[in-house]
Structure 1
Amino acid sequence: MRCRPPPSATPSPGPAPLATCPAAPAAQSQALRASLEMKCKCHGVSGSCSIRTCWKGLQELRDVATDLKTRYLSATKVVHRPMGTRKHLVPKDLDIRPVKDSELVYLQSSPDFCMKNEKVGSHGTQDRQCNKTSNGSDSCDLMCCGRGYNPYTDRVVERCHCKYHWCCYVTCRRCERTVERYVCK
């Protein structure tokens, strides 16, 4: 399975991002099917359950996404190994137990998205704006790949002190403020 790097590169050790792998739709469909749960509703006078309607419904999408991310982060690198007349995918490290059908596997590690690599379409993260206070993928700690970041100030012009006039228009002043921003080294 060959996976492409994402259009906006962020660092990603291990397998290529799930959304960019050709096998991703199958893994996502499998996760959704596994998340189906029986839901029932009772119908009747004063809450009696004289008729019960049941159907299969999806769990909360956040739970399905969390399960997929957990499986993605624990994906096993595999290689083709001849076994008899056929090739099988087996874990690269032979001391790892056999891979289950429900586990995600990958043949190639993701490229280093921290560094510019035009061959795989990665622009790297140097000079990318980051968020110093975030814990997410836009955080300076994660996005800058340990290289640090530089602060700079930016002047932003915005509409402010807006007033509604009867009838029917709004007048505003233009206010300027200074904001501190950060870019990866």
Structure 2
Amino acid sequence: MTGDYVLRCVLMLCCALLSANASNWLYLAKLSSVGSIRDEETCERLRGLIQRQVQICKRSVEVMDAVRRGAQLAIDECQFQFRNRRWNCSTLETMPVFGKVITQGTREAAFVYAISAASVAFAVTRACSSGELEKCGCDHNVHGVSPEGFQWSGCSDNIAYGVAFSQSFVDVRERSKGQSSSRALMNLHNNEAGRKAILSHMRVECKCHGVSGSCEVKTCWKAMPPFRKVGNVIKEKFDGATEVEQRKVGSTKILVPRNSQFKPHTDEDLVYLEPSPDFCDFDARTPGMLGTVGRQCNRTSKAIDGCELMCCGRGFQTQEVEVVDRCSCKFHWCCYVKCKQCRKMVEVHTCR
């Protein structure tokens, strides 16, 4: 092998590792709070941040607790959306929090990057609207009378600030010099797709004013959708994600569908570089690859949560367990609900 060839291999490996570890900041979710940060030195001690993120932390110390909440929001939403799949977004106590599962350019990695970028934009925007941050507040660009005739008022969510902060903080590693690998392009695309899942579903909320509940005057403001809606949108994009490859057009490197018969993806679609593993078996060499042994499954379902697919054909075992539920609930004036505790036996199916 020539020296140039070896150098190119080393550079490609470094780029891949840098991109693969770009989500280490999600480790902030393991902290109870970073709201007590009062000086720049604390930013140096936060695990999971690269140097450029540390610099952003020092410039925007007050925003970091919102970033921590965003990291937790991303993990929670990932676990909700994938609760019935073989890989269910289980986390580790080490970095990266999802293990090496997302170091490959799969659909699952695409989802994690998209939901993470969206969660930071969402959490920072919410912090702006709540008055938590001095650097931002409501979106004052939304004012006056709308073409529909209502008055813009109230506190419109400052999504522009949240998106801009997410772009600077989450994308910083991929945007660093030399990050033009296929994986870096994939991450950047999916990060932006995650943020667009919020932008494309902003809604108008209104309140009526007038005598006896009439709507003589209606004031409205722009609000973000619930984050569950954002998660649902990104999960739909996951299901229809496009497999891509890098291609050079002039001096620019872009991602195009690997199958030329597929229509080009949009900015709101998720893209991936390689097929996912089956996630059936535990793999000690790949932290986060836990397999499905012991997972609960649905005996009657034919979908991925069904015992046949979830258990990868290994079969399942059934046992009866006692479940305690609230029942016979009654409303008492005023003002509480009193319930009894009912016990029943249910069948639980788990993969062998």
Name the TM tier (shorter chain): 0.5 to 0.7
* Structure 1 residue 51 corresponds to structure 2 residue 51: no
1:30-179 equivalences under 5 Å are 30-121=196-287, 122-126=289-293, 128-133=294-299, 139-151=306-318
TM-score w.r.t. the length of structure 2 is 0.38
Q: Which residue of 2 aligns with 1:21?
A: 113
1:179 positional shift: 7.5
Q: After superposition, what is the alpha-carbon deviation per residue over 1:152-181, rounded to whole angstroms, capped at 9, x for unaligned?
A: 578x8x9xxxxxxxxxxxxxxxxxx99865
1:142 positional shift: 3.8
Q: In structure 2, what residue type is equivalent to 1:90? A: V
Q: After superposition, what is the alpha-carbon deviation per residue over 1:110-151, rounded to whole angstroms, capped at 9, x for unaligned?
A: 22211222332212223x142445858765334212322133
Q: After superposition, what is the alpha-carbon deviation per residue over 1:38-69, rounded to whole angstroms, capped at 9, x for unaligned?
A: 12222111334333211012345444332221
Aligned partners of 1:32 and 1:58 also within 8 Å: yes
Q: Which residue of 1 aligns with 2:86?
A: 11
Higher RCO, 1 vs 2 (CA within 8 Å, ≥6 residues apart): 1
SS of equivalent to 2:108: coil
The size of the alignment, in residue pairs, is 162
Q: CA separation in 1, counterparts of 2:319 and 2:209?
A: 63
Q: CA separation in 2, counterparts of 1:22 and 1:2?
A: 14
Aligned partners of 2:297 and 2:305 also within 8 Å: yes
TM-score w.r.t. the length of structure 1 is 0.66
Q: After superposition, what is the alpha-carbon deviation per residue over 1:43-99, rounded to whole angstroms, capped at 9, x for unaligned?
A: 111334333211012345444332221111001011111222222100011111111
Q: In structure 2, what residue type is equivalent to 1:84? A: G
Q: In structure 2, what residue type is equivalent to 1:146? A: G
Using the aligned pairs only, state the percent identity: 33
Bigger share in strand: 1
Q: Please, which runs of 5 or more residues in structure 1 have no aligned partner?
A: 159-176
Please tell me whether Structure 1 or Structure 2 has the larger radius of gyration of its CA atoms. 1
Q: Which residue of 2 aligns with 1:174?
A: none
Q: CA separation in 1, counterparts of 2:111 and 2:198?
A: 15
SS of equivalent to 2:198: helix
Q: Which residue of 2 aligns with 1:162?
A: none
SS of equivalent to 1:28: helix
Bigger share in helix: 2
The 10-residue stretch of structure 1 (40-49 or 133-142) with the greater mean CA deviation from structure 2? 133-142
Q: CA separation in 1, counterparts of 2:110 and 2:222?
A: 26
